Amino acid sequence: MERTCLAIILAAGDSTRMKSSKSKVLHPIANRPMIAHVVDAVAKSDISSVALVVGRDADEVAMAAQVEGVKIETYLQKERLGTGHAVLAAHDAIARGYDDIIVTYGDVPLQTEGPLKAARQGLAEGSDVVVIGFHTDKPTGYGRLLVKDSELIAIREERDAADAERAVKWCNSGLMAINGRKALELLSRIGNANAKGEYYLTDLVEIAHSIGGRVAAVDAPEIEMTGCNNRAELAVIERLWQERRRDEMMISGVTMIAPETVFLSYDTTIGQDALIEPNVVFGPGATIDGGAIIHAFSHIEGAHVSAGAIVGPFARLRPGADLANGSKVGNFCEVKNGKIGEGAKVNHLTYIGDAKVGAGANIGAGTITCNYDGVNKHQTLIGANTFIGSNSSLVAPVSIGDSAYIAAGSVITADVPADALALGRAHQELKPGRAAVLRERAFAIKAAKKAKP
């Protein structure tokens, strides 16, 4: 769309119903502040600039709203005198003379660019105000959109509506688009002659008609217009977001056995023919390539899983984990800042941190890389086709050469050359008959404890 557009995002509310120490727009949906979801949606509607109207937690909200490639200017609304007053907080931005102005809200994180573009199209076709509405079977509490001859003639609040008007199921979302060339004229005419003494943006419908302007309405899916005022609604929005994103992924070729148990982050990427078993959680920064298998009860964050790799069950991949093609990280294993080479296996009860595991290596059960000395982290290098026996401790910094063999139960503190066998065990001693003595002593101690009054 060649027309210039300013998006005004209202995020200055006090959030009292959220019962929180921080603004509601800072609360996350899919591990991303809800305000960032809104900025992302308006950015996709071909806007030129964003004016963010802030109040409570102004600096934190402005920081959370940052989306790559989007220039945002913030405007402080010092008093809360209604939506019309909030929009005029961005007066300087409006005065620059954009073709279109979109007004939306920072607590409506499920919105997409579709309805916003439709509203802009209405402006391009000659309307001065375009209201975004939604159809619902439960309209109670919402203002109704009253249309005649394809023209929006009024937004009727429920308390003021006649019985026939209350039967209308097309409701006001609060979002709208305004002719940018007339915006300041229209906004300046909003009065506050009402019970609360506030300036309501919805008055623009009547104002535009009064000066001979055109007003239209466009429809949006009800889900997209879901707002958030409290923790219960926050949970509903999280559920709706997850359902929508899961459906998108499954339609694109991802298999989820029990999708309702899989939780995604806003930036989770999963390729075609990947298999996700039940009860898998993806934190931010997870990329799963096509054909990978994520078994049940695994947690993946800041990690990359290549094609054909297998994770879990009950595995945890932390930031920096990178699994090459055909590798495996099995049950009750954790990888943090570790690269697992092609075809390498980390099968059971193992921790790999700050390490590189070569292609074809086999890491035995109970192996740990001892990467932290209490102050600094150190790296472990494990060569290709190495075999690390069960219950081994690799004390970093240390390097294990290609095709080396580490005997089970070893503590390795020095580098091991390629093709070498390393044994780091204490010498085993035998004490014949000592077990019986120890057992008798243990039973005597137990009996003495019972005999005490």
Residues in binding site for acetyl-CoA = 365, 371-372, 390, 408, 425
Verify whether residue 91 is a known catalytic residue. no
Q: Pick out the residues of the known binding site.
A: 10-13, 24, 77, 82-83, 105-107, 143, 157, 172, 229, 318, 336, 351, 362, 365, 371-372, 390, 408, 425
DSSP state letters, 193-254: -STT----GGGHHHHHHHTT--EEEEEE-TGGG----SHHHHHHHHHHHHHHHHHHHHHTT-
Burial of 176 (0-12, 13-18, 19+ CB in 10 A): buried
What backbone phi and psi angles, to 5 degrees, belong to 322? -140, 110
At 9, phi and psi to the nearest 5?
A: -110, 120
Can you tell me the distance from the alpha carbon of 190 to that of 10, in angstroms, rounded to the nearest whole number?
17
Chain centre distance of CA 117: 24
- Which token pair is 180? 């940018």
Q: Where are the beta strands (DSSP E) in 110-192?
A: 129-135, 144-148, 151-156, 170-179
The single residue listed with the structure tokens 């008055």 is 203
Residues comprising the binding site for UDP-N-acetyl-alpha-D-glucosamine? 10-13, 24, 77, 82-83, 105-107, 143, 157, 172, 229, 318, 336, 351, 362
Specify the amino acid at residue 245: R
Contact criterion met (CB below 8 Å) for 66 and 72: yes
Catalytic residue among 91, 135, 209, 348: 348
With CA atoms as reference, report the closest residue to 229 among 86, 62, 108.
108
| CA 175/CA 104 separation, integer angstroms | 5
CA distance 31 to 13: 22
The burial of 181, by beta-carbon neighbours within 10 Å (0-12 exposed, 13-18 middle, 19 or more buried), is given as: middle
Which residues are catalytic, by number?
Answer: 348
